[in-house]
Amino acid sequence: MAAIALLPVAAALQGCDHKELCYDHSHMTDLDVAFDWSDAPDAQPVTMVVHFFRPDGSLYKRLEFSSREGGKARLEAGAYMMLFHNGTMETVVEQGSTWDDHQLTCMASSLLAPMGRNSDDAPRPPEAGDQPVAAAPGMVWAGVHELMELKPKIQGQTVTLRPAEATAEYVVEIKNVENLSEGVDISAAISGMSSAYSLSGQHHCGAAATMPVGMEKVDEHTVRARFRAFGHCPAEEQSHIFSIYTSNKVFYHYDITGQMHQASDPRHVYIELDGLKIPDISGGMSPDISGWTEVIEKDLPMN
């Protein structure tokens, strides 16, 4: 296979006397696109998306491959930069049309979406009352390939792209929970999270958002929220309030800012909290309750 030459931007733009950008529209060439999963060997994306940009930062073409291994791209001969990520994402959309502004952005959501409710009347903590509510992303793998030159009339040219995990994992576990009941649904939300990811910059960004997350029952006295996000505190340090909502309209706000900021591994954040008393009310959402009741608000101890 012929190798792709990696060139400085200035060098890649030389060689065409009649064009500022080196493109030959008469020569369409096949490029073999391969993905190297060394940084995420267990990844199983449904599809992979590659955005081809010209050296001036404008978007040339978006291609989606149905295999994690890659496939063929038919392109005009010339110089390209590439941004890539997995496709078929339920809660993440692509935004931007240039190299610099291309982002993956979390979709808007309802605060009680994990409970299957579209109501947004659940109380918000004062520190985050104005934040947008954004759905947590699933697994995202992404990467950047800064510059290559595709030569005309040469077969077997290949580019290898190396995706890496773009999201971090967060786990908040509450132990010694009282009155867990199958009749009462529980969900949670966490404030101060990043709502977007810059593909060219390879960092989290966007507005600080509150993300609704599901709560799972681990055992009779333990509940856990496990979710992914692009990061937290996108522009400046934010407070992080972990809110719990129940289907019988009881809520709890817990300040976990210290635990978030002091996490030893920012890519795998684990927070253990101790003690939560749920009112002993069964039967799901009660039509008799007209408003929300705050049971407790305090800093729960860190693990």
Residues 58-86 pLDDT 10s = 999 999 999 999 999 999 999 999 999 99
Parallel/antiparallel/unpaired status of strands 164-165 and 168-178: unpaired
Output the domain CATH number for residue 241.
2.60.40.2100
Average pLDDT over residues 160-183: 94
Query: Which residue carries 């977007």 as its tokens?
Result: 196
Query: Which residue carries 């290949």 as its tokens?
Result: 158
Would you say 107 and 212 are in contact if contact means Cβ atoms under 8 Å apart? no
Query: Residue type for 83, please?
Result: L
Query: Which residue carries 């404008």 as its tokens?
Result: 58
How many CA atoms are closer than 13 Å to the CA of 245, on its beta-carbon side? Answer: 28
pLDDT of residue 7: 42
Identify the burial level of 283 via C-beta atoms within 10 angstroms of its C-beta, where 0-12 means exposed, 13-18 middle and 19 or more buried.
Answer: exposed
Q: Which domain holds residue 34?
A: 9-298
Would you say 240 and 225 are in contact if contact means Cβ atoms under 8 Å apart? no
Would you say 188 and 241 are in contact if contact means Cβ atoms under 8 Å apart? no
Closest CA to 110 of 189, 184, 50, 203: 189
Joined tokens for residue 214 = 């599901």
pLDDT digits (tens, 9 = 90+) for 251-294: 999 999 999 999 999 999 999 999 888 877 554 444 334 488 88
Joined tokens for residue 212 = 């609704």
Closest CA to 9 of 78, 86, 59, 71: 78
Query: Which residue carries 């491959």 as its tokens?
Result: 65
pLDDT digits (tens, 9 = 90+) for 91-119: 999 999 999 999 999 999 999 999 988 87
Closest CA to 285 of 148, 112, 61: 112
Would you say 102 and 199 are in contact if contact means Cβ atoms under 8 Å apart? yes
Give a yes or no: residue 129 inside a domain.
yes
Query: Residue type for 29, please?
Result: T
pLDDT digits (tens, 9 = 90+) for 195-231: 999 999 999 999 999 999 999 999 999 999 999 999 9
Give a yes or no: residue 72 inside a domain.
yes
Average pLDDT, the chain: 87
CB atoms within 10 A of CB 225: 24
Alpha-carbon distance of 161 to 209, in angstroms, equals 31
- Looking at the structure of the chain, the number of domains it has is 1
Give a yes or no: residue 4 inside a domain.
no
Joined tokens for residue 183 = 């009749």
Q: Taking 80 as the threshold, does the pLDDT of residue 295 lie above it?
A: no
Give a yes or no: residue 303 inside a domain.
no
Joined tokens for residue 37 = 């999963």
Cα dist from 252 to 117, 159, 179, 240, whole Å? 18, 51, 15, 13
User: pTM for this one?
Assistant: 0.85
pLDDT of residue 16: 43
Joined tokens for residue 289 = 């309750």
pLDDT category at 247 given cuts 50, 70, 90 is confident
| Strand, helix or coil for residue 169 | strand
Residues ≥6 apart with Cβ < 8 Å to 70: 32, 33, 34, 35, 48, 161
